[in-house]
Structure 1
Amino acid sequence: HLGAALQVFLELGIDDVPLSSLAKENEELFVPYSPDGIILPRTSQALFLVQRVRDEAHRFAITFHRQRRSKHNIQSAMDLVPGIGPKRKRMLMRKFGSLKGVREAPLEDIAAVPGMTMKAARALKSHI
């Protein structure tokens, strides 16, 4: 990962930001242009800080990926329903919050959403 990050930074002309990476298994710190990793003492506050930064970056990436995947799944499920276009999907999501909320809503509540009709509500319920 360090090499890829360094390459992108250099392509963008960014050369004044220090980079490093932390190998997870041995907790070795690597810096560009140095083949040897730096081993910080296990009780080092510096090691603790770098671990926290790494863990937060991983948490952020995983959360972003899950949200993106979830949003795609919701959109694709509603895209398959005849008569449900972008405006109706948006209104349904505003009202019910999620695809699960739409699934669990009574037919009458779905039909009452602005822009919806009973025919569209029935089509939606039968497809999801």
Structure 2
Amino acid sequence: MMDGGRGQVNVALEVLADLNINIPVCGMVKDDKHKTRGLIYDNIEVPIKSGSQCMHLVTRIQDEVHRFAITYHRTLRDKRTLYSILEEIPKIGEKRRRELLKKFGSIENIKNATYEELLATPAMDGKAAQSIIEYFKQTSEA
């Protein structure tokens, strides 16, 4: 089931056919006010009565898809934010950023880590660990 009408369903079916995947695909047909009015399946529009159990199910599916998409995009945004902060620290390149986030899980944990904990991180050396300590010391004093 996809949030799209006849055009989107046909494109999805073409892509699936190119990949030799044969599964049923239906789409949600919207009215002028962007409210779902039915499903498109096998190139036939099947109307759904407003207030019916079927409409309730379709609405719940749409709500869950929307919630999942919002959560996913927030996660991406948060990861971009984390990386941008670490990019400001001298001697911390992409590999070290990745290792730090893998080990500590958050900027706050990196900020609170000791020199020894930072040094024990793969790809880190003493100068890089000291650079992190100094960076967070300066930003907390500012």
Fold match by TM threshold 0.5: yes
Are the counterparts in 1 of residues 115 and 130 from structure 2 also a CA contact under 8 Å?
A: yes
Number of paired residues? 125
- The residue number in structure 1 matching 2:114 is 106
The Cα offsets for residues 50-102 of structure 1, whole Å up to 9 and x where unpaired, read as 01110111012111101111111111211222211222222212221122211
Structure-2-length-normalised TM-score: 0.65
Task: Tell me the residue number matched to 2:74.
Answer: 66
Secondary structure, aligned partner of 2:26: coil
1:123 aligns with 2:115: no
8 Å CA contact 2:37, 2:50 repeated in 1 = no
Cα shift at 1:106: 2.1
Evaluate the alpha carbon distance shift between residue 92 and residue 28 of structure 1 in structure 2; reply closer, same or farther with a 3 A threshold.
closer
Q: Which residue of 2 aligns with 1:18?
A: 26
TM-aligned CA distance change 1:106 to 1:13, over 3 Å: closer
Give me the CA root mean square deviation: 3.3
Q: Deviations over 1:20-62 (max 9, x none)?
A: 1457x795415579xxxx56242x2101110111011101211
Q: Which moved more, 1:1-10 or 1:65-74?
A: 1-10
Unaligned runs of 5+ in 2: 18-23, 137-142
Higher strand share: 2
In structure 2, relative to structure 1, the CA distance for the partners of 1:86 and 1:46 (3 Å cut) is same
| Aligned counterpart, 1:5 | 8
Q: Structure 1 residues 117, 26: CA separation in 2 closer, same or farther (over 3 Å shift)? A: closer
Structure 1: where are the runs of 5+ without partners? Answer: none
- Following TM superposition, the consecutive aligned residue runs of length 4 or more in structure 1 with deviations greater than 3 angstroms are 1-14, 25-28, 30-33
Give percent identity, aligned residues only.
36
**C-alpha distance in structure 2 between counterparts of 1:114 and 1:19, whole Å:** 48
1: CA distance, partners of 2:88 / 2:133? 12
